Amino acid sequence: MRRARTHAPRGLVVDLRLARGGYEHLGNRIAARLTDRAYPAYGKQARDDAGDPARFTPLEKVWVRPAGASRPP
């Protein structure tokens, strides 16, 4: 009998070629299942003033936490 190829995977490929964006929470949920410790995944900001293209909201850090871990308040 052949051994399953998933016994000791060396990596994972997630194909997002047709992703239109706006679904970052789904990527974060996938990442949460693949880690055993929290880490900062990315930061994001939005433009805050249509008249001033240099003005942004404060930087928001987005963390990935292991699936099942409690969330901070």
10-residue stretch averages of pLDDT, the chain, 73 residues long: 65 78 85 92 92 94 86 55
Bridge partners of 44, per DSSP, are 60
Nearest to 16 by CA among 7, 6, 8, 26: 26
Is the distance from CB of 61 to CB of 28 less than 8 angstroms? no
pLDDT of residue 70: 62
The secondary element (H helix, E strand) that includes residue 40 is: strand 39-44
pTM (2 d.p.)? 0.62
Is the distance from CB of 34 to CB of 14 less than 8 angstroms? no
Task: Give dist(CA 61, CA 71) in Å, integer.
Answer: 14
